[in-house]
Amino acid sequence: METINTIQEQKHPMDDLLRMDRIPHIWCPGCGIGNAVSAFAEALRKLEYDLDKVVVVSGIGCTGRVAGYIKTDSFHTTHGRAIAFATGIKLGNPDLKVIVISGDGDLVSIGGNHFVHAARRNIDLTVICVNNFIYAMTGGQVAPTTPIPAYTTTSPFGNFEAPANVPQLAEAAGAVYVARWTALHMRRLADSIVEAFNRPGFSVVEVISPCAMYYSRINKLGDGLDMMQFYYNNSIIRHGESTDNLNIDYQKEIIVGKFVDRERPAFSESLNEWLRKDQVE
Amino acid sequence: MKADPRDVFTGTYYIDGDVAMAYGALAAGCKFLGGYPITPSTEAAEAFARIAPRAGARFIQMEDELGSIASVLGASWAGQKAMTITSGPSYSLMMENISLGAAMEIPFIIINIQRAGPSTGVPTCTGQADVMQSRWGGNGDYEIIALAPDSPQEGFEFAVKAFNLAERYRCPVMLMSDECVGHMTEKVVVPEASKIDIEPRRFYKGPADAYLPYKRDPDLVSPIVKAGDGYGIYITGLSHDEKGHPVLESGNSYDLEHARALNRKSTDQYLVDKIRKNRDKIIEIQEENTEDADVVVVSYGISSRVAYRAVEQARQEGYKVGTLRLITVWPFPEERIRELAGRVKGFVVPEINYGQIVFEVDRCAEGRANVVLVPHGGASVHQPEDIYAAIRQLLESKKRYENVFEFRTILERKVFGGGMLKNRS
């Protein structure tokens, strides 16, 4: 009995970062979102930032549930509106560090307009986009990121629509920092999140993550670990690669790395400058 | 608590209702406007954007209405009084996050300068057809509060009132104005800050580790904290328990006992109860001459101003006509209408739509009094003659009306002749 007590008394390094009272989480075995959460928690640990001043905002979907497991102030909002909601928090209290964690469907499809315009404004947000190529929470429908010709429940004869290239979209819209890793690049992913967190302005980190349930089964890609390993083994690290070349083809190589790291005046800087002008006049 | 003098631009102005509402919002302590331009509400956002820096408030023009209302919720959670200003189809686009705001119980207000018609309708002209949408527009069950000003001065005052109610009950409050009030230029008196009562946000004051986001005070409203205060709040649009954690059992589900045993009861029911059970404190109506009235004109917003003319004429001619004006359109003063229904001949309801609040009046009349709608398709206000004619028709009528469409306006008679009346009754 004593041994058991000792184990229970020991603290997990992530206890301060995760809502342990909400564990077990809802994600399926073999899902990559847990890895993304671990990497994010690891990044928070490395940052040693005052957690009271960090706010996590999620939209809807499997990744949308992340907000419920991170032990900071966290908001689980409506489908697609996480970035807009986060914009309000940031403007309401500029001292807060606001992170948006959501899925590809939430950020790129229904929330695409907010994604584009938050990047254009260069508002101080870090967006972590977990891309699993499918709408998983609703049962595996075709997503804006589904590669050609992957099967989904709403592309029963294979997808024929060109998928979105998330880093290219982010760069074109004005993001100052864009990186992509797979769910097994845990250390590099955490490092990228740290970099993005510290960069003033709009930063995006894409995480290629397996959906071991809906994307895998219908396409016969094995279990979650198989998929994770496949993505990892077929990824090529090419920092600074032009985002034109970052399309993801079905079960082909995936270029990962840090693609964009540049400086543009962040929204808060520009706003303060204008407010100073207003007061001078 | 009194208003902050830095937020109140005391003076006597000659401004339109839109601008007056912006002044009112600032006086109430509004520090955030997330907007998106739509006629005829733009003057309000423009005025706010112009004056906001002097009151330390922020304006952002978001990329769309979905974003503007979402940013309002975010800003409110960051601790700021926040609002958006909108109209017409933009209002429809906001419904998903109005529902989220109601579910999260975050205070915010929406100023809706209503315009005419469905869809794009008549963008530059007046209407009152968003009244039901205000209450039922978002998905799921929740209650909101709606106010209807009938002058720019009330635009100012009701903006303050709307914020006070939102903070008091942690719910969305709609300031349901319309193009006529919005674009009507009149004298507006902005009083001294010391004359303006402000409801402060009900911040939690207990020990930090005992905080539960949805644990209620006896009045069913729970104290609030803001993001960044160190409470580690988790706030979700999923149905949630007192802790804010998602639950699968809804408030009255079959396994309520099981939910209670786990102390995981959904708080959804409180979204309606906190308004319904406090309705006596919320409801505000203005009555004149209803004590001995045979007919009562029930109206709100700009229509109530037009109705006065008709009522005045009828009273001068010796008819016993009273007026009941809804200051709060929602919650609806059901009890009062029931009381009156027992002793009046009927109710005349002029509204700039084809029947919305009239059905509420009819429901509460319970067949004991005739109720007629004076309809109007929008783009202008009623002819007082129509309201007068409806009053006369009710006074002279001997039969019990089957529905609320028994009265036909002058325009309807001209356009449709006699045929429609027969079809209707």
Write the DSSP string, chain A: -HHHHHHHHSPPTTTTTB-GGG-S-SPPTT-SHHHHHHHHHHHHHHHT--GGGEEEEE-SSTGGGGGGTBSSEEEE-STT-HHHHHHHHHHH-TTSEEEEEEEHIIIIIITHHHHHHHHHHT-SEEEEEEE-SEETTTTSEE-TTPPTT--BTTBTT---SPPP-HHHHHHHHT-SEEEEEETT-HHHHHHHHHHHHHSSSEEEEEEE---TTHHHHHHT---HHHHHHHHHHTEEE-TT--GGG----TTS-EEEEEEEE-----HHHHHHHHHHHHHH-
The verdict on residue A152 lying in a domain is: yes
Report the residue from A19, A53, A279 with minimal CB separation from B228.
Answer: A53
Tell whether A92 lies on the interface with B, counting CB pairs under 8 A.
yes
The residues, ordered by sequence, that sit 6+ positions from A11 with a Cβ below 8 Å of its Cβ are none
Q: Are residues B64 and A113, on separate chains, in Cβ contact within 8 Å?
A: yes
Contact A88 B71 (CB under 8 A): yes
Chain B partners of A71 at a C-beta cutoff of 8 Å?
232
Of the pLDDT bands very low, low, confident and very high (cuts 50, 70, 90), residue A3 is low
Q: Per-residue confidence at B198, pLDDT binned at 50, 70, 90?
A: very high
**Fold agreement between B5-195 and B283-424:** yes
| Residue B302 near residue B249, CB atoms below 8 Å | no
Q: Is A25 on the interface with B (CB under 8 A)?
A: no
pLDDT at A214 > cutoff 50: yes
Would the pLDDT of A28 be above 70? yes
What's chain B's average pLDDT? Answer: 94
Q: Vertex B132, ends A88 and B166: CA angle to 5°? A: 40
Q: What number is the average pLDDT over the span B240-252? A: 78
Query: Is residue A92 within 8 Å of residue B75, measured between CB atoms?
Result: yes
Q: In whole angstroms, how large is the CA radius of gyration of chain A?
A: 19
Quote the number of domains for chain A: 1
Average pLDDT over residues B263-268: 79
> B29 contacts in A (CB within 8 Å)?
none
A80 chain-B contacts, CB cut-off 8 A: 66
User: Could you report the per-residue pLDDT of A142-183, keeping only the tens digit for each?
Assistant: 999 999 999 999 999 999 999 999 999 999 999 999 999 999
Report residue B412's pLDDT band, with 50, 70 and 90 as the boundaries: confident
CA–CA dist B407, B398 (Å, integer): 14
- Domain boundaries, given as residue ranges, for chain B: 5-195, 283-424
What integer best gives the mean pLDDT of chain A? 94
Q: Does A49 touch chain B (CB under 8 A)?
A: no
Tell me the pLDDT tens digit for each residue of B94-116. 999 999 999 999 999 999 999 99
Could you read off the pLDDT of B275-328 as tens digits, one per residue? 999 999 999 999 999 999 999 999 999 999 999 999 999 999 999 999 999 999
> pLDDT category, B417, cuts 50, 70, 90?
low
For residue B420, pLDDT beyond 60: no
- CATH number for the domain harbouring residue A59: 3.40.50.970
Indicate which of A89, A99, A273 best probes the interface with B, i.e. most B CBs within 10 Å of its own CB.
Answer: A89
Find out whether A208 and A131 touch, Cβ atoms under 8 Å: yes
* Continuous H helices in B88-241: 88-93, 95-104, 131-136, 152-169, 179-183
pTM, 2 dp: 0.95
Compute the nearest-CA separation of A113 from chain B (Å): 7
Q: Provide, rounded to the nearest whole percent, the portion of chain B with pLDDT above 70.
A: 94
Asked if A77's CB is within 8 angstroms of B73's CB, the reply is: yes
pLDDT value at position A10? 76
What secondary structure letter does DSSP report for B7? G
CA distance A19 to A34: 13
One CATH from 3.30.540.10, 3.40.1160.10, 3.30.9.10, 3.40.50.920 for B283-424: 3.40.50.920
Asked whether residue B425 carries a pLDDT value surpassing 50, the answer given is no
How much is the CA Rg of chain B, to the nearest whole Å? 22
pLDDT higher than 70, residue A195: yes
Is B79 at the interface with chain A, CB within 8 A? yes
CA distance A238 to A252: 15
Residues of chain A with Cβ-Cβ distance to B230 below 8 Å are: 52
The answer, yes or no, to whether residue B342 has pLDDT greater than 80, is: yes
Q: Which residue has the higher pLDDT, A2 or A7?
A: A7
Q: Is B196 within 8 Å of chain A by CB?
A: no
Q: How many CB pairs under 8 A join A and B?
A: 143
B227 chain-A contacts, CB cut-off 8 A: 55, 73, 75, 89, 92-93, 96
Whether A254 maps to a domain, the answer reads yes
For B79, the closest of A93, A113, A116 (CB atoms) is A93
Cβ contact, residue pair A84, B68, below 8 Å: yes
User: Per residue in B365-378, pLDDT tens?
Assistant: 999 999 999 999 99
- B245/A68 CB distance under 8 A: yes
What pLDDT, on a 0 to 100 scale, did the predictor assign at position B422? 52
Q: What does the pLDDT look like over B40-69, one tens digit per residue?
A: 999 999 999 999 999 999 999 999 999 999
CB-nearest to A76 from B80, B230, B238 is: B238
pLDDT value for A278: 66
CA distance B147 to chain A (A): 25
pLDDT at position B167: 98
Write the pLDDT tens digit of every residue in A63-115. 999 999 999 999 999 999 999 999 999 999 999 999 999 999 999 999 999 99
For residue A200, is pLDDT > 60? Answer: yes
CA–CA dist A181, A10 (Å, integer): 32
Q: Does A138 fall in a domain?
A: yes
Q: Which of A87, A113, A275 sits opposite B71 (nearest CB)?
A: A87
Nearest to B144 by CA among B168, B112, B171: B171
Q: Cβ B74–A275 below 8 Å, yes or no?
A: no
Q: Quick check: is A4 in a domain?
A: no
A90 domain residue, yes or no: yes
Assess if residue A5 is contained within a domain.
no
Domain encompassing residue A108: 12-280
pLDDT at A41: 96
User: Residue B411: what pLDDT?
Assistant: 86
pLDDT at residue number A98? 98
- Average pLDDT of the residues in B179-203: 97
Asked, for residue A128, whether it belongs to a domain, the answer is yes
| CB proximity B375 to A under 8 Å | no
Q: Which residues of A touch B245 (CB under 8 A)?
A: 22, 68
Choose among B62, B64, B228: nearest Cβ to A52. Answer: B228
Q: Which of A81, A95, A110 to mutate to test the interface with B (most CBs of B within 10 A)?
A: A81
Buried b (16+ CB within 10 A) or exposed e, A14-30: eeebbbeebeebebbeb
A6 within some domain: no
What kind of fold does domain B5-195 have according to CATH? Rossmann fold (3.40.50)
**How much is the pLDDT for B179?**
97
